[in-house]
Amino acid sequence: MMLTFFLGIGCGLAVPRVEQPLRTAIEKISLIKLNLEPAEMDVISVLVLMIGASLICGLLDISSSAFLLALGTLIGLYGQRIIAGFRSGE
């Protein structure tokens, strides 16, 4: 179960790094020009990474929890902002 949580954290941390290559791949694959907003691209990136993490859990026969995967992704995605907020006291 903890591995699922850590995979989720990895997903959250990887979103900014995966966003541009994923956008390029979507533009090459799609037959029409898609004008995706940055927020939409963030959601697509998170979903692709979480689906990938779920597939890894399934292939390795790891007992997984969707809640722990989502919680880990949330912490990975916003963890740096949360820590900075606590440090600044805002």
Q: How confident is the model at residue 81 (pLDDT cuts 50, 70, 90)?
A: confident
In single-letter form, the type of residue at position 9 comes to I
Say yes or no to pLDDT of 90 above 80. Answer: no
Radius of gyration of the chain (CA): 15
* Total domain count, the chain: 1
- Domain range for residue 12? 2-88
Q: What is the mean pLDDT of residues 39-58?
A: 91
Q: What is the pLDDT of residues 1-29, one digit of tens each?
A: 788 999 999 999 999 899 999 988 888 88
Q: How would DSSP label each residue in 14-26? A: HHHHHHHHHHHHH
The Cα 3–Cα 52 span in angstroms is 14
User: Could you identify the residue written with the tokens 């790094």?
Assistant: 17
pLDDT given at position 69: 92
